[in-house]
Amino acid sequence: MTKIIDLRSDTVSKPGEEMRRVMAEAEVGDDVFSDDPTVNRLEALAAERLGKEAAMFVPSGTMANLAAVLSHTRPGEEVVLGDRAHIFNMEAGGAARLGGLQMRVVRNLADGGLDPVEVAEVLRKETMHSPGTGLIALENTHNFKGGTAVPVASVDALGELARAHDVPLHMDGARIFNAQAALGVEAKRIAHACDSVSFCLSKGLGCPVGSLLCGSVEFIERARRYRKMLGGGMRQAGIIAAAGIYALENNVDRLAEDHANAALLAEGLGKHEAFRTNQPQTNIVMAEIVRGDAGDWMRKLKDAGVLAVMSGPQRMRLVTHINITRTDVELAVSRIDTILEGVAV
C-alpha cells in the first residue's frame, strides 16, 4: 500500500505516544470556574513564554484572534492589517459579523510585515464622518507569504507607531515559535512590542487542539467574556491543556527539523522547470506552477500518495511538520520526479 505523505498543513499533525500519555493522566477541573489546574499551568507557562502578564486557553486560533480583536475594539471602529492577513482572508469575516468592525488593509511586504509609513497613512481618529482606528494587527510567521518570519525590528517599529497613536497592536502568532527558530530570538522578544499575541498549539507543536491568547491581566479578563460569548468556555479541558504543556516543554526546539525538511523539499521541487519555489525560512513551501495548473497537480500528487493544497490557480502549498521525516520528504520528491518523467507511479 502506498504511504501517504501529508503536506497539506501542519494542522494535520497527530499527537505522539508520550503526549497522549500525559493527556490521559492530566488532573482536571472546571475551567470556566478557573478550577482546572492543568489549564491554569498551561496559561501561566504560555504567558511566561510570550512575556505577557496573563494568558487564556481557547479551542482555536480563529477564536483567539477574534477574542483579541473584540477585546481591543468598539463596534464601528476600523482594524488595520495586511492584505494577505489570515484574520482578513481566512477567519470567516468574524470581526465584521460579530464585532461590527471595518477592515482597512495595507500591503503586506515580501517578509510578511507591514510598512509603518503605509500604516501611518491610514490611521485616523474618529470623526462625525469616519471610523477611528481601533487596532493594528500583524502576522508572524506569515502564512500566505510562505512562512516568512517578520524581523523583530519591523515589529518594534510597528509597536512604536501604534503607541504614538494610542492604538493597540495584536500579533497573530499562530506559528510564532517557528519565527523563534528561524530568527534565533525568543518568542517573548518577538512579541514584546505587541499588546496581545495569539499562538497555536495544533500546528508545528503537534497538539490535537488549542490556542493561547496572551496579554495584560485586564485584557485577558475582557477576552474571557468574549471566549464565553463565542462558545469557547470549556469544562474539564485539562486533558487537552496537558498536551499544550508537553508541547511547549518538548516540541519547540525540534521545529528547526521541520525547517530543514522544508528547505530540502523546496530544493527538490526547484530543480524542475515545472516549479518556481520560495526559499523557505520556516516550514512552508510555496510552489508556483509553470507547467500545468495547481488543480491538475493536486490530482497527480494525490494519485502518487502526496497531499498538498492549492494556494491559487497556479500555486500550491506544502507544509512540513512533526510527523514528516527527512525520508518522507525524499520520497515525496522522488514521486514528483517520477510524475515529471511521465512514468506511472
Q: Which of 232, 250, 268 is the last residue of a domain?
A: 250
Q: What is the pLDDT of residue 86?
A: 98
**Using CA atoms, how far apart are residues 305 and 51, in angstroms rounded to an integer?**
42
Q: Are residues 258 and 214 in the same domain?
A: no
Q: What is the pLDDT of residue 2?
A: 86
How many distinct structural domains can be found in the chain? 2
pTM of the entire predicted model: 0.96
Q: Is residue 4 part of a domain?
A: no
Q: Are residues 40 and 112 in the same domain?
A: yes
Q: Is residue 3 part of a domain?
A: no
In sequence order, the 6+-apart residues with CB closer than 8 A to the CB of 344 are none
Q: Tell me, what DSSP letter sits at residue 80?
A: E
Q: Are residues 177 and 326 in the same domain?
A: no
Q: Are residues 215 and 315 in the same domain?
A: no
Residue 213 sits at φ, ψ, to 5 deg, of -115, 130
Q: Is residue 12 part of a domain?
A: no
Q: Is residue 7 part of a domain?
A: no
Closest CA to 155 of 179, 132, 178: 179
Q: Are residues 230 and 315 in the same domain?
A: no
Q: What is the pLDDT of residue 262?
A: 99
Q: Is residue 10 part of a domain?
A: no
Q: Is residue 5 part of a domain?
A: no
Q: Are residues 211 and 331 in the same domain?
A: no
Q: What is the pLDDT of residue 138?
A: 99
- Domain with residue 332: its CATH number is 3.90.1150.10
Q: Are residues 158 and 33 in the same domain?
A: yes
Quote the domain boundaries for residue 171: 17-250
Q: Which of 218, 250, 282 is the last residue of a domain?
A: 250
**Using CA atoms, how far apart are residues 23 and 329, in angstroms rounded to an integer?**
30
Q: Which of 250, 278, 293 is the last residue of a domain?
A: 250
Q: Are residues 239 and 100 in the same domain?
A: yes
- Domain with residue 242: its CATH number is 3.40.640.10
In sequence order, the 6+-apart residues with CB closer than 8 A to the CB of 319 are 7, 8, 9, 10, 147, 262, 283, 284, 285
Chunked mean pLDDT (size 10), the chain, 345 residues: 94 97 98 96 99 99 99 98 98 97 98 98 97 99 98 98 99 99 99 99 98 99 98 97 99 98 97 93 96 89 96 95 98 95 57
Q: Are residues 212 and 334 in the same domain?
A: no
